[in-house]
Amino acid sequence: METSLLSLLRRVDTPTVCNAIEVAQGKRGFADFTRGTMLCSAPDGGAMVGYARTARIRALTPATEPPEVIRARRMGYYRYMAEGPRPAVAVVQDLDVPHAIGAYWGEVNTNIHKAFGLAGALTDGVMRDLGDMPDGFPVVAGSIGPSHGFVHVIDYDEPVNVFGLSVSPGALVHADRHGAVVIPQEVLPRLEQAIGRLFASEKIVLDAVKDKEIGFEAFEVAWAAFEKART
């Protein structure tokens, strides 16, 4: 990914990315985004962007495998998260949803994953320790809870599904307080230009109406110019 595009993606919100993908594709109907309302540990902290490092967890009941198997998988998971292309985002599906109770993402795990160089975490599961998470590592999660339960890793480096969004290992993810999207690889060469076009077209309407009072005729002129700029 070009450095300028990465820098831009870190500065814009996820709705902007959704719209810009449609601009780059030349059509509406892009659907690789989360459904429902998610929670963000740092709503004003900006977006996370990176290649997905995926895993699945459970926490409602204890693991039934031998302790040495559980530990080996846990260490394999951490090695996997520490390696791979950067920037990267941890994308972890909680298999207990909709009854998830185990907060995998708290003070300890967020600091570990930030130290590994990841940009943040996306999960449909639980987060906690909201006042103790490190700056610069946002978590976008399904819920907030106080306990880790019997949380344990089931597998990693496999496709996952978070809030209706299918994420394969290595997929390019953009997420913030609105939710998350997977950016199609084929739009990357056009995405920076598409974001610029999007901002320029929206500015036409916003300049006409923001902090102003206008009549319908003036709005109609601005909207016509907006539509022309989008095509």
The CA-to-CA distance between both ends of the chain, in Å, stands at: 27
Shortest CA distance to 121 belongs to which of 68, 67, 64, 81? 81
- At 147-191, the pLDDT tens digits run 999 999 999 999 999 999 999 999 999 999 999 999 999 999 999
Pairing between strand 126-127 and 103-105? parallel
Instruction: For the chain, give every residue range classified as CATH 3.50.30.40.
Output: 33-183
How are strands ordered across the β-sheet holding 103-105?
Answer: 103-105, 126-127, 143-144
Domain 33-183, what fold? Glucose Oxidase; domain 1 (3.50.30)
Q: Quick check: helix, strand or coil at residue 101?
A: coil
pTM score of the predicted model: 0.94
pLDDT, tens digit (0-9, with 9 covering 90-100), for 28-56:
999 999 999 999 999 999 999 999 999 99
The answer for residues whose C-beta is within 8 angstroms of residue 86's C-beta and 6 or more apart is 50, 51, 117
Q: Whole-angstrom Cα distance, residue 48 to residue 138?
A: 7
